[in-house]
Structure 1
């Protein structure tokens, strides 16, 4: 697939019904899980970080989001623009295929609607992870039990 880096080496485990089958090389090995809610959408979040001289630096976030307002990709984009405090008119996104659906990405995040009411958002630090690795990681996130996946 054009624009997608070679596969990375680590398995990211299962998060709220989704298997993160690979994570970018070079990100931290300290992993934390969080649960939160924002504007009636529940988040299950996994974060990878590494220790630096100044503290910790996050290289990767994966959010599994569940909420009635996540009805389609346009609604998801609108929700994430609010959540990430982005101007929707000034947020250049590119469509990419994710299984039987489409997602959107920029240089630091990719997101898609897995099913009505269920979405996934993968965010990276672009200083540590390039767009190809971002897309490889996003494409490696699949529902547990999906055909050909664990």
Structure 2
């Protein structure tokens, strides 16, 4: 698969604001994490193979990430009902946020042209950001490979 993004963010940029609805119907915004660090990761489709691998890796590493002061938030274009089912099926205990119009994905440079095989289309691209306690990005990664991603992220974030 190849992807192209329009404008990518870099470490030190102010993280774009967001307000989205989670799988339980609650409103979640960037401001909710002021003074704390958050891992915001974008994925294309709940319950698809790669997205399930990545979400379960975050689930399995959640206690270590939380102990180091990181909240985990997954963002996809799926509706809240699909996210709720995905969370229940996989035992996901972190927030899954619905971005149906991909406005937040676009703000983070995580939306663009994707090519899988012979099919080219626009969509949310797998990417991960760490928003520091001051609201700036301390990590920005595009074109993430779902396999081993959380392990690689842990080596960069955890002492």
- Same fold per superposition (TM over 0.5): no
Q: Which has the higher strand share?
A: 1
- TM-score, normalising length: structure 2: 0.28
- TM-score, normalising length: structure 1: 0.29
Q: Which has the higher contact order (CA 8 A, sep 6+)?
A: 2
